[in-house]
Amino acid sequence: MKELKASMAGNVWKIMVKQGAVLEAGEDAVILESMKMEIPIAAETSGKVKELKVAEGDFVNEGDVLVVFESF
């Protein structure tokens, strides 16, 4: 299992993937909003989304797990 983590503290502005979806390396999975800036969080490797750990509007801290996925 791989985890996609927040690179900084902020609000979850938009979730770009759904549970069960295939996530390609480099694809944006979540967009955070911090200090009026939108920060895309992209997957480092390809895989299938196993679980979303956050919902739109949630506040996250740096290092919080956003998405859990299984690598191919």
For the stretch 4-63, pLDDT in tens is 999 999 999 999 999 999 999 999 999 999 999 999 999 999 999 999 999 999 999 999
Do 13 and 33 meet the contact criterion of CB atoms below 8 Å apart? Answer: yes
Give the CATH number of domain 2-71: 2.40.50.100
Looking from the CA of 22 toward its CB, the CA atoms found within 13 Å total 3
User: How sure is the predictor about 1, in pLDDT bands with cuts at 50, 70 and 90?
Assistant: confident
Which burial class, exposed, middle or buried, applies to 3 when counting CB atoms under 10 A from its CB (0-12, 13-18, 19+)?
middle
Every domain of the chain and the residues it spans: 2-71
Residues 60 and 10: their CA atoms lie apart, in Å, by 6
